[in-house]
Amino acid sequence: MPRKPRLHVPGGFYHVILRGNHREPLFGTDRDRAYLNALVGDVVARFGLRILAYCWMTNHLHLAVRVGVTPLDQPMQRLAMRYSRHIHRDAGQVGHLFERRYRAILVDADSYLKSLVRYIHLNPVVAGMVPEPMAYRWSSHRDYLGQRTVSWLETDFVLGMFGPAVGVARVRYARFMRSYVEEDLALFEKHESRDTRGLEPELPAVALAPPVGVPGERETLEQIAARHCARLGISMTELVSPSRARRLSSARTGIVLEALEAGAGTVSEISRFLGRSPSALAQQLTKLRSGTF
């Protein structure tokens, strides 16, 4: 059985659930979900997480995560804090956007990881939002079928459980998604029960919490860019090249977003560093905010 973690387990696989405070909606528009995607990329790079599956529902989030040496509370605090700031800034509101606790259930990979990914991808279907998972834009199901790629998502580990050849693995994954019974979902539905809150790590109040980091230190624009490049396997030469390849554009957008929020540079300074015009960067940010990037 999946079990509740009492201690941080480096390399462990977790089912992470984060809900809106009082079950309130977390998203106003699709651009909010797109913004959350960018923030997840940031915590993946910063804390060494591996995201194996995700689904952004209306009032809660699901993640299948493999952690590194850093406990989950640090990346979850940063993610919740920064997303809350975004929503509060747009809506002119204050208060807690998320519940003070998130759920993180340690899952045995050999026995339950495939089923967890299926459960996460079926959430919109079970909720009656769409007839089948392919119709839902804000989950990683399409990525598993090779029809889209989110830069921070890792599908290879789970697909490898279906076979060594990617094409065959995707066919078997699609078949697995269709072949389930109610008991398969019930196993993970109980993770969402409020009866389990006593064993969960506490998420600090995100509305007023300070950013995570070393006091008195702030990353430079160069350090932010180097971290993104290392995570994506991109050289600095490629980053500042004229190429408009999607992975390079995605990396540049992530760098711009983080650098602006961290106060590591102005739009003009960042554009000079990346070898781009300020108007080009503005267009990238506009696409991100509109959910079309």
* Whether the predicted model's global pTM rises above the 0.85 cut: no
3-state secondary structure of 167: helix
Most confident of 73-87, 129-143, 185-199: 129-143
Calpha distance 263→265 (Å, rounded): 5
- 193: which residues sit within 8 A by CB, 6+ positions away? none
The CATH superfamily assigned to 13-199 is Transposase IS200-like (3.30.70.1290)
Yes or no: say if 94 and 207 are a contact pair by the CB < 8 Å rule.
yes
pLDDT over 90 percentage in the chain: 31
Would you tell me how many other CB atoms lie within 10 Å of the CB of residue 30? 14
34-58: pLDDT as tens digits = 889 999 999 999 998 999 999 999 8
Residue 218: count other Cβ atoms within 10 Å of its Cβ: 12
**176-199 pLDDT per residue, tens:** 999 988 888 887 876 665 433 332
Is beta strand 60-66 parallel, antiparallel or unpaired with respect to 50-56?
antiparallel
Q: Which two tokens stand for residue 36?
A: 């959350």
pLDDT band at 208 (very low <50, low <70, confident <90, very high): very low
Q: Kindly report the length of the chain.
A: 293
CA separation, residue 74 to residues 66, 206, 231 (Å):
14, 12, 19
Specify burial of residue 158 (Cβ count, 10 A radius: 0-12, 13-18, 19+). Answer: buried
Query: Domain locations in the chain?
Result: 13-199, 221-290
Residue recorded with tokens 């992975």: 247
Answer for the pair 19, 99: CB distance below 8 angstroms, yes or no. Answer: yes
* SS3 of residue 180 by DSSP: coil
Q: Quote the crossing angle between the two packed helices 30-47 and 278-290, to the nearest 10°.
A: 110
Asked whether 105 and 191 are in contact (CB, 8 A), the reply is yes
Decide if 107 contacts 2 (C-beta within 8 A): yes
pLDDT of residue 124: 93
DSSP per-residue string spanning 116-131: HHHHHHHHHHHTTS-S
Over the stretch 272-293, which tens digit does the pLDDT of each residue have? 888 888 777 776 666 655 544 4
Yes or no: say if 257 and 264 are a contact pair by the CB < 8 Å rule: no
If one compares 29 and 153, the residue with the highest pLDDT of the two is 153
Tokens (6 digits) for 110: 């050999």
The angle at the Cα of 206, spanning 118 to 95, to the nearest 5 degrees, equals: 110
E strand segments, the chain:
13-19, 50-56, 60-66, 103-107
221-275 per-position pLDDT tens digit: 888 888 888 877 888 778 888 888 877 877 887 788 777 777 787 877 888 888 8
Token digits for 121? 């991808």
DSSP strand pairing (13-19 vs 60-66): antiparallel
pLDDT band for position 134 (50/70/90)? very high
